[in-house]
Structures are given as structure tokens and as C-alpha cells.
Structure 1
């Protein structure tokens, strides 16, 4: 069978389990696709073909022995280079960490392997995973396969580019301030940032179908004693009425026309699928949570982060830290206490919204995906980027799940919608996402554009 790399993870796993194709054939196809297109986009920055084939052989041997295999049996997936994989450097996009060889796997890696997945390669991220653009001084720039003039997103930019170009069927990413949701948006695929406590290390999946996100969520969220934040919440919560809120300007976000049109269209798709959709003028606060998240992320240990960035010499990381200095420094115990106190109050306001609505539809970003490296152009461009990403920054502070659903293209630039729900209600996000996806999505996988 040709072009196995084109298949969804669900379809490929079904073929492997039924012995219509082997895990070895799937791995061979994935490696050939990587070799064919990765030189043009630099999405995968570390991989070992012999190890990939060894993993595939182990899956095929388990199937031949009649052993129970997981939902991702034989499915090639990629993992971000900021997460521990035994025997590989956890560079996080840093020359400083080129020799930081992981002695053991992260819980997320082990959960993927327990599900039967084959780890195909490690994907690029910006230095320190700071930015919505993916460049660094150790691995180089990642290009967006849909349009090399726009960012592939970040910090999981390599993950988004890989899955859009058919390098792996699912990609692992991490998301503190949009780092799964934005690469999915920029590369025209789908990405889920789960509730805090669902998956270790703020991790989540990117994929070409919502169905594959659901499978990946189940695999990645298995219990591991090494994750002290893990919560044994069911993947399916109690039924809720199919009622959605839609907001074009959450907390005053200055949303461009193309993005407003995409969010509006997503609402119409939900309505056609039997959902009740109500447009609301605004949401509970987003600006305040975004400010607190930025302080907690960059302000805690700011001077040490800046010193490390100066030693690395990465211009993007330095721009991020220096551009936010006035917002986050100094950061003392009183500021930390205020942030945590306000977090509880703000979460209550948001949870009240989700007592009324199953999901909220709103922009992923105020703008279409940015021109690549826009944040380094000048001070005004830096401020523009951070202002546009309000909805991405705020949601993690609130501990809520957020899903990017890519819905179409403006020319060749992707656009989509963000679906948010209450804590541990990824099932509602995915249910709404599937209804939206049914109305159309950018074609994927694709060959990289010139």
C-alpha cells in the first residue's frame, strides 16, 4: 500500500491491528516522507531511523504473538525537543543544552509508547520555547509548509509544520501561552491544550483530524506516578445541552475581519449540526489573566532567565524577555500571592459561564498568522504580536482546555477558531470541534509550498 503517511492515525492503526499492513511498512513510509520534505521545512531536528524501525519491529512482534496493543499501535508520531526522551538531548532550542541527554523518558513519552505509538523524531522549538515563531541558534529556522513567509507558530512550530506536511500522524506539543493552539492555527491543522492536570508537562496533541486528537488525548493522559498534578478525571463528562456562546471581541480584543468571519462561520457550522449558538458581547476577563500568566511565566526568576538568554545569545529570546521587562519585573512574593488569589476569583467567573454554555467559540488570535519573525521587527510589532495573542495567553492561567480547529484558508494563509470549555471538559471541545470540522478544513497533509 502506497503513501501510508497520508492516512489518519485512526485509519492507520486499524490497518495495522488487522494485519493489512505492518508497523514496519508504516515506519518505512513515515521515514521516506520525512526524508522527502523535512529538508524544506526543518520541522524534525533529531531522529534515528534505525531506532524507528526497531520500535516498529517490536509492535509487529507483539501483534504476531496475539498480545493486546494500544490505540496508536504502529502509528508514527513526533515529539517536541523540549521533552525528555531517553538517550536524546532535551535542547529546548538551546546550544546551552546540546549535551543535556535525557536518562529516562518523560511520562508523556512513556504513555505514547505504551499506546503502541512509534516515536518518529523530535520537532523544533524556539529558544527556551518562548515565542510564537520557531527559530534558534542550534537547530535553525522552521518554515511553515503552507507559506514560508508566515510563521509556523511556536513554540511547537516544528510539531505544527511536521503534521501539516505529513511527517507523522500526530505531533506532541506543549502549551503555556498558546504553544499548541497557535502552531495548529498557523499551519492549518488542529491542536488541543488540555486542562491542567490532564497530561504531564503542559503537553497535548496536534493532528490533522479531530478524531486523531481524541485518540491521542486518551493515550497521552494515562496515569503516571511521576506526574504529581495528574487528576483521575474521566475523559467523558456528564451530558450537557448543545449550547455554545460565540464572542468576536472577547474582553475588547481588536479582531480583524477575516478572523471574525471564520469565528462566525464556525458558529453557523455548529448551528447546522444542531447546536444552539448565542453571540455574546464579551467574556469574563482575559486581559487580567493574561497579565498574571505573563508575570508567573517570565517574572518568576526573570534575572536568571535573562542571564541564560544572554549566554545563549538568541535574539528572539532576548527580545521576548527585554520586551516584557516592565510588565514582569520585579516579581516578589506579594505579586505571586496576588496572582494566585486573583486566579481563584477569575476561574469562578469563567466556570460560571460554562454552567450556562457547553463551549465558547472565540478567536485563536486577533489576526491571521503573522509574517515570520514579526516580533523582532521593531517595538510596535512586538507589542502588536503580544496584544493579538490575548486569548492564547489567558486560558492556561485559568486552567481551562482550549482547542484550535482550522476551518479554511485566506489565500494560502490558514484561519480557524478556538473552542474553550470548563475544566476537564475536553470532550465538549472535541464534540464541538468535530461538528465544525465537518464543514471543511484546509487540505492536509500537503507538500511544502515555495
Structure 2
């Protein structure tokens, strides 16, 4: 195979070939590194190039295999790691200039789990300051661009991850999500992801000097952004391997028991006062039809407390951020991010004191309602955003910008507050006046059943094909 053919392979196909011995780990990594060298200067998705150590690791994997070692499930698969997660010997800068020399003493659990499975880290991807924007730009590493064009933000906070994997830099991209930071980049770039539920993936940064706030612990999760849904089935079983450094991780298998009979899907186009764009409407109809064709029973129905749960959850999170992070943001953040946070606090007035404690407790009320609802409807198909994805720096344009970027994203952060899995998958390519743009939909699932959401993503993907193939044609035409 040529190097171009190799980097185009899905993670699933690539792992099958490296494990069978049809390709070496060095072949796989070399192809991705060359693709990175070709396109990353324009995208600025990867901000720390680890090519040299990646090739050294790939050669060691090949030698170990030659000596009789059993290849791991991700043998030789190139991956990227977001710069807010510890990787031994590298800076966990989180997009903040003051943290540029915060060198990790050890690997975070997700880095260890990926490498234990045979994956090879080829680079570290960009994030906004403090990983707290739905766009990706910072004074330390600069702006990341969307491979579809500069008319669309790459999303955030895992914007470097989404841009890299869809452009062909690595088959898997690590990211994380406290309010949408896996799903925003997936939607922006036309990628696939599943935000795992609470307790699913072990998490901890050995470099941290204090524990995070309790809502940050309960709402933030680690995950992967991929080009195909099948790649999530390939890689997530390795990512969820237990790690004693996360005392609240729940060691459960990736696949749950089969659901008896046709799976019922609750379907809603409700946007809670925001206008539903015709292209998002069309994407939802494609997704619904694909699921029906695949044998799901899809019913349009009112959902329990999405808006209230989402707004309450994000206002509570802003209360915790105000109390625990505001001084750091004021001291180390740029004027841009300080201004954005000021508007966040206007859009989501922070709960404080007794009211904050009451709203944190109310989380269980919302989660119980959804748990009961999902006894009948194990999957929930909704918009992710009511409009096509926004332009770069839209969240710097005051209250109106933040309202469009984050205020309308209740389906996103509601799932973080509830602790439920939520997948994002492209269902349409919209040809808009400013250029082509993928449109993703969201599929929520019950606790511990990420696999059901990914299965549904596969059904939708089978209808529209791989969005990356369309993207690569358009990138080649622009070159």
C-alpha cells in the first residue's frame, strides 16, 4: 500500500492489518507523520510534534512482535493526545502561557491505556485557554483551523483533536468533554464521538496540585474523536481499562447485554425557543430514516426536562468555576478569555452558597427522571445545535455571540449534568452560502450503554457514508 492509502484507513482497518502483519507499526506511523507534515502547518491542529519518539516506539513494537509478543488491539495505530492531559515528559499547558513549562511526571490513565493497547502517540493537539471555549485559539499556540475551511470554527475545546483526525492526522484523537468539548469538535468537523457517561473512563492528571471541583469531576469525561463509528467500538474497550488512580471509575465491559426486541428511540426537534435551521431539520430526518431502516422504532415524543436540566447544570458549573477558577483565569488568562468568561457569567448566572448546594443536589432529580424515561426509550435522537456550526471567534462577539455558541447548546451540557452517554454523528453535508458544512445530530443512551449509541451512529453512517472521504476530496481540490 502507498502511504496515502495507509493514512486514509480507518482505525479498525489499520489495526486489522497491523495485527495480521500486513503492515508494520512503523508503516502506519510513518504514513500519518507524513500526512501531518503536509497539512498541519495550515491547520495548526497538532501543536507538539512527537514524530521522533513515535517512530522509535513503532520500531520497538515491531521488534517485540518479531520476538513473539502478541500485538495489542491498537497495535501501531497512530493517535493524538490533547494538551490538557498528562503525558510523561511533556507540558500539560491547557492552552495557558503560564503553564507552558508544567511538565507531566507520568502518563494520565487514558494515555497509559492507549499505549498499553499498542497505540502510538504522534502529537499533542490544541485547546483553548483552560479548555473552556467551544472554539480553539490561545496566545501560546495560536488558532486551530477547520479542514472544511476557515468559515467554520473547528469547535472546542478539543478543536485540535477534531481537526487533526478528520484531516487524516492519526486514526484516533483523544479529547475530553465537560459541556460538549468532544461533541462540539465532532459536529464542527463532521467526525464521530461518544461522550462517555460518568465513571466510564478513568481520569486523573499526575501533574495536578489539587483535586478539581466536585461538579468538574462529575461532569467532565475523557473520550475519543474518530472518523467512523466502528473505530469507537475498536478503541473504547482499551480506553475504559481500569486504573486505581481514579477511585470512582467503574470497571464494566464495553458491550452490555442485548436489548430485547426493536430498540425504541425517542425523537425530538424541540429547540426551546431557538430557531431550528432547515439544514439541521433535514439532518434529523435523515438520521430518523436511517434508524427506521435499521430496525429501530422511532417515536417523536416530549423529553423530560432537557432545558431545565441543562441550564441548571451549567449555572451550577459556572458557580463552581466562579468560586474555584476565576482567580486563576484573571491572573493567567488573556484579555480575550477573561472577557468571554464575563459573558458566560451573564448568560449562565452562577449559583452560589446555599442555592448552589441545592442545585447540585437537584442533579439527582433530573437524572432519576431520565433513568425512568430510558426504561422505555433507551436511545434519544435530538439536534446537537439548532443551527449549523458557528464561525471562528463567534464567542468573542459579546452576549449575542456567546448565546449562539453556548446558550443554545442545552442538549450538550444537559448530558454532562445528567452523567449520561451522548454520541455525535454527521447526518448531512449542507451546502451553505459561505461553504460546505457537516451537520451532526446527537444520540443519548442510558448509563453504561455507550455501545448502544455507537451502534445507532453506525446505522446513520451507513446511510450517508464516511464524511471524511468527502472532506479529503475537497481538501485535494483546494491544494
Distance 1:308 1:302 in 2: 10
CA distance in 1, matches of 2:133, 2:186: 14
Equivalence for 2:397: 377
Match of 2:212 in 1: none
Q: Which shows bigger deviation, 284-293 or 368-377?
A: 284-293
Q: Is the 8 A contact 2:19 2:73 kept in 1?
A: no
In the alignment, which residue of structure 2 is the partner of 1:70? 72
Partner of 1:176: 178
Match of 2:240 in 1: 221
Question: Partner residue of 2:278?
Answer: 257
Kept in 2: contact 1:250–1:362 (CA 8 A): no
CA deviation after TM superposition for structure 1 residue 326, in Å: 4.2
**Is 1:283 aligned to 2:303, yes or no?**
yes
Q: Residue 168 of structure 2 aligns with which residue?
A: 166
Write the deviation string for residues 360-398 of structure 1: whole angstroms up to 9, x where unpaired. Answer: 100111111101111112322222222221111111000
Q: Deviations over 1:316-375 (max 9, x none)?
A: 421332012246666444233212321111011111221111211001111111011111
CA distance in 1, matches of 2:166, 2:350: 40
CA root-mean-square deviation: 1.7
**Any conservation in 1 of the 2:315–2:350 contact (CA below 8 Å)?**
no
Q: Is 1:270 matched with 2:291?
A: yes
CA deviation map 1:21-47 (0-9, x unaligned): 111111111110000000010000002
Q: CA deviation at 1:245?
A: 1.2
Gaps of 5+ in 2: 204-220
Structure 1 position 418, deviation (Å): 0.4
- Residue 415 of structure 1 corresponds to 439
Aligned residues: 449
Unmatched tracts of structure 1, length 5 or more: none
Which of 436, 439, 450 is matched with 1:426 structurally? 450
Partners of 1:283 and 1:84 in 2: how far apart?
38
Q: Which residue of 1 aligns with 2:252?
A: 233
- Aligned equivalent of 2:223: 204
2:213 maps to which residue?
A: none
> How far off its partner does 1:145 sit?
0.3
| Residues 283-315 of structure 1, C-alpha deviations (whole Å, 9 max, x = no match) | 111222223332343321515533322333424
Which 10-residue stretch deviates more, 127-136 or 244-253?
244-253
Q: Give the stretch that moved more between structures: 330-339 or 127-136.
A: 330-339
1:253, distance to aligned residue in structure 2 (A): 5.0
Q: CA deviation at 1:179?
A: 0.3
Q: Is the 8 A contact 1:293 1:397 kept in 2?
A: yes
Separation (CA, whole Å) in 1 of partners of 2:257 and 2:427: 28
Query: How far, CA to CA, are the matches of 2:121 and 2:69 in structure 1?
Result: 20
Contact 1:127/1:316 (<8 A) preserved: no
8 Å CA contact 1:131–1:316 kept in 2: the answer is: no
Q: Secondary structure at the match of 2:468?
A: coil
Q: Please name the residue that 1:435 is paired with.
A: 459
* TM-score of the superposed pair, with normalisation by structure 1: 0.96
* Distance (whole Å) between structure 2 residues aligned to residue 391 and residue 301 of structure 1: 21
Does the 8 Å CA contact 1:90/1:98 hold for their aligned counterparts? yes
Tell me, in whole angstroms, the C-alpha distance in 2 between the residues paired with 1:155 and 1:329. 21
Most deviating of 223-232 and 295-304? 295-304
Does the residue aligned with 1:203 lie in a helix, a strand or coil? strand
